[in-house]
């Protein structure tokens, strides 16, 4: 049967031939090959495996790096595991998979941990807390693969085929497979076992517990946070392996490389991590000469994006620095393909590096979900193809400006976003540091980009400009949607219908404003 599966694999690869017309995930298109070669009544069904035997993969934990190199492992009786390299070769498994069907899955991060801690503080005050973190042993390797997929993971060693039957690290769909499983485990923990406040990151689960809430975990013969013990009991019930040294707790505690202090309510990057991140961002932001000449392989780009996303746990406002990176990588899956760095990307990464370099590396957790009625400053905005307007209801002051002639697009969305940035700038100049600012707009796309800090490249300078203001003034910003029929004054201002605006608000004071010159950065107070 093993030989039939291998023959089926060869037939599929011959049919695909490295092209994009067919992908390995198009399994329905290979049914005739499967029926002919694998099924017992097919033309190959009567054949037996012959002299070439197939052995199961070993159980050693360390991976042989030489085996994963193009030359392969030549060490006799190598004591390390020979793992599948799914990106090696011109017809690698990863290169023949439809990447649109194996997109990444969302992961919990420090934002979720912060929200859980803030909720605990809101409900229980200054009760002393500890953080805990539990890790699943072997993780990806717990997931068995379909027999037809296992043939993609046959390692030839000394003339024998060793079938790797489990989910392998390095496969473009490997993470999604395990995360799907662990998401179900997380659902059981929350909804069946009532273990609340957990955050999951791939194979790590973490949370907070009251310092005096401890339970005895018999397998490890020690007292541990009660929620952590409850999770370990669930894992034991489900047969999920774990090791004592990876089940940790304390205050502060390092979680995915960031020190979390639940009592000081801070997230901190170590000095070394801080310096390494700045160095890497400046490397990408420089005009390189020599071998790389400003181009990096796709794998290096993906590593940069992953590193930056990790750093956003401590620097959440710096997300715009990747808004030019993602479009650059769109449609590029070959890990060794070189991709050039353009000027926009250099500027964004240097901007982020400068901001990080001048920070302490400590992020103070505070609630971002506050009631708009608690705002220190409230502004209503609107724009049309000819003008922009915003006004402050508390001060009965309104501002108007014609749309600038030098903008990258004439789409109304751009003017709406630019108007919000101008209103934020005005609030920054006229309000004390640390203000809570609410800005209303009737354009939902504008609401989305300011709340996610993700936008197309044309709009990214607006977001960077807004972030500079928020960091310089230590403000909290909330951009909300308002129905058009409730935004009458701002609409009248943008259309230069000042009579209508004054009729709605008789004592409204009307002033002009100059839209910010985004290329010059935020003006300082």
CA atoms of 285 and 234, how far apart (whole Å): 47
CA atoms of 278 and 301, how far apart (whole Å): 16
Burial of 158 (0-12, 13-18, 19+ CB in 10 A): exposed
- Supply the pLDDT for residue 60: 37
The band of 61, judged by pLDDT with boundaries at 50, 70 and 90, is very low
- Supply the pLDDT for residue 525: 43
Average pLDDT, the chain: 82
Closest CA to 258 of 314, 204, 202: 314
The band of 398, judged by pLDDT with boundaries at 50, 70 and 90, is confident
SS (H, E, C) 108-151: CCHHHHHHHHHHHHHHHCCCCEEEEEEECCCHHHHCECCHHHHH
Model pTM score: 0.71
- How confident is the model over 408-436, as pLDDT tens digits? 666 889 999 999 999 999 999 999 999 99
- How confident is the model over 340-356, as pLDDT tens digits? 999 999 999 999 999 99
Whether omega for the bond prior to residue 235 falls within 30 degrees of 0, making it cis, is: no
pLDDT over threshold 70, residue 62: no
pLDDT over threshold 90, residue 284: yes
Is 449 or 410 the better-scoring residue by pLDDT? 449
- Mean local confidence (pLDDT), 240-263: 93
- In the chain, pLDDT over 70 holds for what percent of residues? 76
Closest CA to 35 of 184, 201, 148: 148
CA atoms of 427 and 210, how far apart (whole Å): 40
Query: Which two tokens mark 283?
Result: 């490397």
Q: State CA 76 to chain mean position distance.
A: 42
- Mean local confidence (pLDDT), 467-471: 95
pLDDT over threshold 80, residue 225: yes
Of the listed ranges 155-164, 346-355, 404-413, 441-450, the one predicted with least confidence:
155-164
- Supply the pLDDT for residue 59: 39
- Mean local confidence (pLDDT), 54-58: 38
pLDDT over threshold 90, residue 209: yes
- CA-based angle 456:473:490, to the nearest 5? 60
Q: Is 47 helix (H, G, I), strand (E, B) or coil?
A: coil
- Supply the pLDDT for residue 498: 75
Of the listed ranges 135-139, 163-167, 204-208, the one predicted with least confidence:
163-167
- Supply the pLDDT for residue 415: 92
- Mean local confidence (pLDDT), 89-118: 77
pLDDT over threshold 70, residue 307: yes
């Amino acid at each position: 049967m093993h030989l039939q599966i291998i023959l089926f694999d060869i037939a599929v690869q011959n049919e695909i031939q490295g092209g994009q017309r067919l992908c390995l995930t198009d399994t329905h298109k290979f049914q005739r090959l499967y029926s002919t070669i694998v099924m017992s009544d097919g033309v190959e069904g009567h054949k037996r495996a012959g002299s070439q035997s197939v052995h199961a993969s070993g159980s050693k934990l360390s991976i042989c790096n030489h085996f994963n190199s193009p030359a392969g492992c030549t060490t006799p009786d190598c004591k390390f595991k020979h793992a599948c390299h799914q990106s090696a070769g011109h017809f690698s498994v990863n290169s023949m998979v439809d990447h649109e069907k194996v997109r990444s899955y969302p992961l919990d991060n420090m934002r979720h941990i912060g929200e859980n801690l803030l909720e605990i503080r809101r409900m229980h005050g200054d009760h002393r807390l500890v953080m805990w973190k539990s890790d699943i042993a072997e993780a990806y390797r717990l997931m068995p693969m379909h027999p037809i997929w296992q043939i993609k993971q046959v390692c030839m060693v000394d003339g024998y085929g060793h079938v790797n039957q489990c989910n392998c690290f390095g496969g473009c769909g490997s993470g999604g497979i395990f995360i799907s499983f662990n998401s179900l485990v997380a659902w059981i923990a929350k909804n069946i076992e009532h273990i609340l406040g957990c955050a999951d990151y791939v194979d790590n689960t973490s949370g907070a517990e009251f310092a005096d809430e401890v339970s005895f975990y018999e397998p490890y013969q020690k007292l541990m946070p009660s929620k952590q013990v409850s999770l370990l009991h669930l894992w034991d019930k489900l047969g999920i392996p774990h090791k004592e040294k990876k089940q940790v707790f304390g205050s502060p505690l390092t979680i995915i490389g960031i020190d979390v202090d639940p009592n000081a309510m801070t997230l901190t990057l170590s000095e070394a991590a801080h310096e390494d991140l700045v160095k890497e961002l400046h490397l990408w932001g420089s005009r390189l000469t020599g071998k790389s000449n400003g181009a990096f392989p796709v794998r290096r780009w993906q590593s940069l994006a992953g590193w930056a996303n990790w750093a956003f746990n401590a620097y959440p406002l710096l997300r715009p620095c990747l808004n030019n990176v993602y479009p650059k990588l769109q449609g590029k899956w070959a890990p060794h393909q070189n991709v050039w760095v353009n000027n926009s990307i250099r500027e964004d990464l240097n901007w982020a590096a400068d901001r990080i370099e001048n920070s302490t590396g400590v992020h103070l957790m505070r609630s971002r979900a506050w009631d708009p009625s608690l705002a220190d400053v409230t502004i209503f905005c609107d724009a049309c193809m000819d003008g922009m307007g915003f006004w402050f209801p508390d001060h009965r002051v309104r501002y108007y400006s014609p749309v600038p002639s030098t903008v990258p697009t004439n789409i109304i969305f751009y003017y709406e976003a630019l108007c919000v940035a101008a209103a934020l700038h005005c609030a920054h100049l006229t309000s004390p540091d640390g203000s809570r600012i609410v800005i209303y707009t009737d354009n939902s796309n504008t609401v989305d980009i300011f709340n996610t800090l993700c936008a197309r490249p044309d709009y990214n300078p607006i977001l960077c400009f807004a972030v500079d203001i928020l960091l310089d003034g230590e403000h909290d910003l909330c951009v909300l949607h308002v129905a058009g029929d409730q935004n009458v004054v701002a609409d009248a201002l943008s259309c230069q219908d000042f009579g209508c605006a004054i009729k709605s608000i008789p004592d409204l004071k009307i002033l002009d404003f100059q839209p910010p010159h985004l290329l010059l950065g935020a003006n300082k107070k």
